[in-house]
Amino acid sequence: MENGLLNGEITPRLYQEAIFNTATKSNTLVVLPTGLGKTHIAAMLAAHRANTHKGKILFMAPTRPLVEQHCKTWKETFNLSDDNFKVFTGQLLANKREGEYKDADFIFATPQVIQNDLITKKLALDDFALVIFDEAHRAVGEYPYPFIAKKYVEMATNPRILALTASPGTTRSKIEEVCNALYIEKVEARDRNDVDVKQYVKHREFTTVEVELPPDFKKIKSYIETAMKSHLTYLKKGNIIQSSAPSAVRKRDILMLQGKLGSTAAQNPDLYPYLSALAAVMKLSHAQELVETQGITPLTIYFDKLEKDNTKAAKNLLSNPNFKEAIRLAGLLKKNNIEHPKLDKLFEILNKNEKTIIFAHYRASVENLMTVLKEKEISAVKLIGQAEGIAGKGINQKEQVKRLEGFREGKYNVLVATSVGEEGLDIPSVDHIIFYESVPSAIRSIQRAGRTARHRPGKVSMLITKNTRDEAYYWAAKRKEKSMHNVLKTFKTETKIQRTLERFSKPEEKVPTIFADSRESSSGILKELSNIGMDVKIKALNVADFQVSERVGVERKKVDDFLQSLIDGRLMKQAASISRVFERPIIIVEGDDLHGKRNIHPNAIRGALASLAVDYNVPMIHTKDVKETAAFLKVLASREQFDKNQAVRLRSEKKPVLMKEQQQFIIESLPSVGPKMAKQLLEHFGTVEKIVTADEVDLMKVDKMGEKKAKAVRKVISENYRKESTGEDL
């Protein structure tokens, strides 16, 4: 290497050198199979950029375990003290992060933390020489990566972006979406068969292990299909679907139909039975998948969940004779401890002496596998996500890290994981990967298989139930992976993927401030407010979701929440609260089709709007989406803060922390004293004590503190406290 930052353990391979050279000149997306050194290329580029541009390095990964793993690897790779490397996740409080960003040279973080700190201006990226996006295929939709990339390009004087993934997408449009989101100029892709990579690839043996669906399982499947057929026939007669064949049902199509019908059902109540039928088909399709690919225990857990489901679709299903028979038969099999034949095959191919990861899509299957592994006295540990599900509680990230360490160190021979284990795990010695079921996603299939054959040969076994969706998913993933490799080859001949980086030179303009309640952090609105140039400050607001001035507070509601709050009575209570605190309260209702959703008579909605305006003096503003809401809030804040010269007061916030804020908070509580006057009084008198003891004459020496205001202030300070209010207070 050209510098002494790296400790010499990295000896670049030819393809790594080639990719590194590209990345020094252009923002680059690196697509490499797992185990071929994407993070080594990142380290080489980081050392180069740190030397030549003297800036900080930011390395982001989707999860805390992955972030900590990268940090640990780089500490071992660089000739630097551990103090140069710092991890920033949600575990570290925001106020502490703000100070520590300044001291760190190499920052490892989850993107959610970086996004939040960019929005609240606790972090600026102007002095960063390199930003690395790991698992870059996530840079789509509302994921934080595109927002961070945009802010970096806007802020940095000499930005450089490196994006890493083993699988960026399976179509050209998907890959281009990632490239555009991350301002990529070049794509460097290699697969296991490329000439310059082949010599470094460890042998990976692929095996498909097929099983037959037992007769009793086929009976359950048949009962479910018969129940589904009746719903599909009804939907076809109503011209909702084209085919009533169960084999033609795709979950994606059903979901799209539900969304389409749901948006117009309130205007046409005749559509509600079809919506219920579609919901039933979705539930039946899921039950069918469980019996085909998972087993009796996950299936009976799902049936138990349906027993507690109060929806019309669930109740109709539970009264269907065929569905009742499916439940009865599954219960008998469960009582007799009969499980899916995959379990027997699993133990035929499982070697107790090999380090193995078993991937299962559903948590109920993970729990079932753990139970059986324990019975077989096999040392195993599960790895699932944090959220609570029908199969039980999740596992927090601290515990995830602990379990991964135990697996790495040999405390457990088998790791049973859901999708949380698919991305980026650095466990070099995994001998065997077992797919408990096929997955239709090429990205997930590549990631699962990539956990083995990294430093020594490995095996991948795919459990497939013949003539089921297992087979269909297997071939779908193979087809998509082939498509991905073909598309990536076309990028090699292109010199520029995206526009040349624009220097964002914007005319100087006043930046309005908005206080946002901390509960809005995950809604997407704060990101949009930051994108359009607002100074966003997150506080725990007692009333309202946003505050734009001393007198204006805004409550934001999605259409569904607005209608639900109208039904359950929350709406008027919230209107009363916000109108007591703010002189000019506003409710924003966001989303389409205010009168078309739910079965609420339009007059009820009109009555609520009339009551808000007349009884509570709270106008309702309707916006179509997050972008329109943010644009309105910016105009509103600019008008209040600049045209009307209304500062954003602190009174509705939780008690301020800084001394000057506490002093201002106290003085603002005096009559007719807003933020501006409070600051003038404090600057004139110097202390809160001197203001409180000043007479009317001294108070009037402050600009715009007239006789009337001075008398009101003195009256509040000197008047005896009366427990019972009198008419004189009004």
pLDDT at 508 over 70: no
Do both 474 and 528 map to the same domain?
no
Q: What sign does the CA torsion over 596, 597, 603, 609 have?
A: negative
Structural domain boundaries enclosing 267: 215-335
Do both 91 and 150 map to the same domain?
yes
Residue 500 lies in a domain: no
Residue 2 lies in a domain: no
CATH of the domain at 386: 3.40.50.300
Residue 96 lies in a domain: yes
Q: What is the pLDDT of residues 86-97, one digit of tens each?
A: 999 887 777 788
Do both 288 and 378 map to the same domain?
no
Specify the pLDDT at position 676: 82
Do both 555 and 424 map to the same domain?
no
Give 605's pLDDT tier (boundaries 50, 70, 90). confident
CB burial of residue 90 (10 Å; 0-12, 13-18, 19+): middle
Specify the pLDDT at position 504: 46
pLDDT at 724 over 50: yes
Mean pLDDT for the stretch of residues 652-667: 68
pLDDT at 171 over 70: yes
Do both 321 and 428 map to the same domain?
no
Q: What is the pTM of this model?
A: 0.79
Do both 377 and 445 map to the same domain?
yes
pLDDT at 727 over 60: no
Are the C-beta atoms of residues 38 and 164 closer than 8 Å to each other? yes
Specify the pLDDT at position 604: 79
Residue 652 lies in a domain: no
Q: What percent of the chain has pLDDT over 70?
A: 91
Distance CA 652, CA 377 (A): 59
Residue 651 lies in a domain: no
Do both 77 and 133 map to the same domain?
yes
Pairing mode, strands 432-435 and 186-189: unpaired
Do both 290 and 348 map to the same domain?
no
CATH of the domain at 548: 3.40.50.10130
pLDDT at 114 over 50: yes
Nearest to 450 by CA among 31, 161, 104, 65: 31
How many domains does the chain divide into? 5
Q: Which residue has the higher pLDDT, 699 or 502?
A: 699
Distance CA 549, CA 585 (A): 11
Do both 143 and 45 map to the same domain?
yes
Q: What is the pLDDT of residues 563-583, one digit of tens each?
A: 888 888 888 888 888 988 888
Q: What is the pLDDT of residues 340-359, one digit of tens each?
A: 999 999 999 999 889 999 99
pLDDT at 593 over 70: no
Q: What is the pLDDT of residues 459-480, one digit of tens each?
A: 999 999 999 999 999 999 999 9
Residue 650 lies in a domain: no
Give 634's pLDDT tier (boundaries 50, 70, 90). very high
Distance CA 103, CA 42 (A): 21
Specify the pLDDT at position 398: 84
- What is the residue whose two structure tokens read 């309005």? 512
Q: Which residue has the higher pLDDT, 660 or 415?
A: 415
In the beta sheet, which residues pair with residue 56? 128
Q: What is the pLDDT of residues 394-413, one digit of tens each?
A: 998 889 889 989 998 999 99
CB burial of residue 459 (10 Å; 0-12, 13-18, 19+): buried
Distance CA 111, CA 62 (A): 7
Mean pLDDT for the stretch of residues 230-249: 90
Mean pLDDT of the chain: 88
Residue 357 lies in a domain: yes
Q: What is the pLDDT of residues 676-703, one digit of tens each?
A: 888 899 999 999 999 999 999 999 999 8
Do both 183 and 252 map to the same domain?
no
Residue 499 lies in a domain: no
Give 10's pLDDT tier (boundaries 50, 70, 90). confident
Nearest to 592 by CA among 627, 622, 633, 632: 622
Specify the pLDDT at position 654: 42
Distance CA 332, CA 234 (A): 31
Q: Which residue has the higher pLDDT, 702 or 427?
A: 702
Are the C-beta atoms of residues 129 and 57 closer than 8 Å to each other? yes
Specify the pLDDT at position 505: 46
Specify the pLDDT at position 3: 56
CATH of the domain at 700: 1.10.150.20
Do both 267 and 280 map to the same domain?
yes
Q: What is the pLDDT of residues 706-722, one digit of tens each?
A: 888 899 899 888 888 76
Mean pLDDT for the stretch of residues 206-229: 96
Specify the pLDDT at position 730: 32
Do both 269 and 299 map to the same domain?
yes
Specify the pLDDT at position 175: 93
Distance CA 454, CA 465 (A): 29
pLDDT at 641 over 50: yes
Give 595's pLDDT tier (boundaries 50, 70, 90). low
- Where are the strands (E) in 49-92, listed by range? 56-60, 85-88
Mean pLDDT for the stretch of residues 173-180: 93
Specify the pLDDT at position 1: 40
